[in-house]
């Protein structure tokens, strides 16, 4: 059963205010992934779940304060946009479902996956800085290629 949109709307806005595009259908996810083949993309699985989600969103905000940013930002909402979330997880090859989660892609290939246990284990500032460094490395490799 999904939670009322009134409850999740503020959580959606936390990411859309940062520039994340909501991917609400499988077609939206496929289009996002097709467009990401030329650069670095960050795909966040947003969630209503307590501590992990309330760590992930500030961590993403922190990561995006750095000068180097992904070329594309997308988000699905677990438990709300079930079909879109299911499709996004098909791109997370080798990883079980996790809510929340953060996936980093370079030229359409998954290069980093941060799942709920790792999110819960870190402070948002640390996680955000680590994510920003991963984005920097992904873009740096892209520039050198």
At 67-116, the pLDDT tens digits run: 999 999 999 999 899 999 999 999 999 999 999 999 999 999 999 999 99
Q: Residue 1: its pLDDT value, please?
A: 55
Residue 45 has pLDDT above 80, yes or no: yes
Segment 47-65 mean pLDDT: 90
**Cα–Cα nearest to 129, from 72, 74, 58:** 58
Q: What is the pLDDT of residue 53?
A: 84
Is the separation of the CB atoms in 32 and 44 below 8 Å? no
Exposed, middle or buried: residue 4 (CB in 10 Å: 0-12, 13-18, 19+)? exposed
Q: Kindly calculate the radius of gyration of the chain based on its CA atoms and give it in whole angstroms.
A: 14
Quote the pTM value: 0.91
Q: Is pLDDT at 118 greater than 70 in this prediction?
A: yes
What integer pLDDT is reported at residue 141 of this predicted model? 54
Q: Are 127 and 64 in contact (CB under 8 A)?
A: no
Per mean pLDDT, which range of 49-53, 123-127, 134-138 is the poorest?
49-53
Q: Which domains does the chain have, with CATH numbers?
A: 5-131 (3.40.30.10)
Express as a percent the part of the chain with pLDDT over 70.
95
């Amino acid at each position: 059963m999904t939670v009322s949109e009134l409850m999740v709307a503020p959580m959606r806005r936390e990411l859309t205010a940062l520039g994340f595009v909501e991917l609400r259908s499988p077609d939206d996810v496929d289009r996002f992934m097709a467009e990401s083949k030329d650069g670095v993309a960050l795909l966040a699985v947003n969630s209503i779940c307590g501590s992990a989600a309330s760590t992930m969103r500030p961590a993403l905000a922190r990561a995006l304060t750095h000068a180097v940013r992904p070329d594309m930002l997308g988000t699905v909402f677990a438990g709300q946009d079930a079909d879109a979330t299911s499709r996004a997880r098909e791109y997370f090859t080798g990883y079980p479902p996790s809510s929340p989660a953060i996936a980093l892609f370079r030229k359409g290939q998954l290069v980093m996956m941060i799942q709920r246990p790792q999110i819960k284990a870190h402070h948002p500032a640390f996680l955000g800085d680590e994510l920003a460094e991963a984005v920097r490395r992904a873009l740096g490799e892209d520039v050198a290629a």
